[in-house]
Amino acid sequence: ISVNMPPCVAFHNGHFTAEDLITKVTRSGDLAGVFYDTDAWRALPPETAIYQVEMLKSPQGEGELYAGTTHLNPGRIGDEFYMTRGHFHQRREQGEVYFGLRGTGLLLLQDEQGKARFEQVSPGSVHIIPGATAHRLINTGTEVLSALAVWPTIAGHDYAALAQGFALRVVLQGGKIHGKEVQNG
Ligand code: F6R
Ligand code: ZN
């Protein structure tokens, strides 16, 4: 028989072994307006790496899928834990699956009515993100949080729809991880 070697992802750290990877680093300077403590955000060197996405190249089109790992560093800006920007998919009906691989954190999910909830992310956790649901990873631990994601190539990203931010923030308060509701307006 003839067998092709597919790319591999290491389940202990989420790194891919593949010839052709796409990688993108998001730095604190890219995240203006994302963290609520703007003084603390300004005090951080803008080149500080917050997260990195590494993904496989995929054919484009209806029915095709991307696979990519997000590596979210541990840390806080002020008392707020490092997190991804978060987004709805441009094609609202398109869902996604996240798999926790390394580290611990939260997946913040929010529907179009603004109702938000958390899922605990840890090695082996499986998260079905339904359509029309914005999603953001938050690293509440002390090591890198790595999560593998699989999503349709046609999904796209809509960051603008969340310009006002999510309804919940996660902060360290009195040494404890605390979710707090954001007052709108
Ligand atoms: C793709 C997806 C993830 C994120 C990544 C970075 O649909 O959900 O690959 O793109 O975690 O987060 P954002 O895109 O919000 O900066
Ligand atoms: Zn997504």
Q: Where are the domains of the chain?
A: 8-176
- State the ligand closest to the CA atom of 23: 1
Distance 86 CA to ligand 1 centre (A): 6
135 CA distance to ligand 2 middle (Å): 6
Residue nearest to atom 7 of ligand 1 (CA): 151
The protein residue whose alpha carbon is closest to atom 16 in ligand 1 is: 85
Residue 70 Cα: closest atom of ligand 1: 11
The secondary structure element, H or E, covering residue 47 is none
Give yes or no for residue 69 CB within 6 A of ligand 1: no
Q: What is the pTM of this model?
A: 0.97
Q: Whose CA is nearest to atom 4 of ligand 1?
A: 70
Tell me how far the alpha carbon of residue 92 lies from the centroid of ligand 2, in angstroms. 10
Topology of the domain covering 8-176:
Jelly Rolls (2.60.120)
Ligand 1 probe mutation, 30, 69, 84, 88, most atoms within 8 A of CB: 84
With a cut of 50, which residues of the chain have pLDDT below it? 185
Handedness of CA 71, 64, 161, 25 (dihedral sign): positive
Whole-angstrom Cα distance, residue 138 to residue 180? 14
pLDDT at residue 19 in the model: 84
pLDDT at 184: 59
Handedness of CA 141, 170, 24, 99 (dihedral sign): positive
CA–CA distance from 163 to each of 26, 124, 130 (Å)? 17, 31, 21
Q: Is the ipTM of this complex over 0.95?
A: yes
What pLDDT sits at residue 185? 43
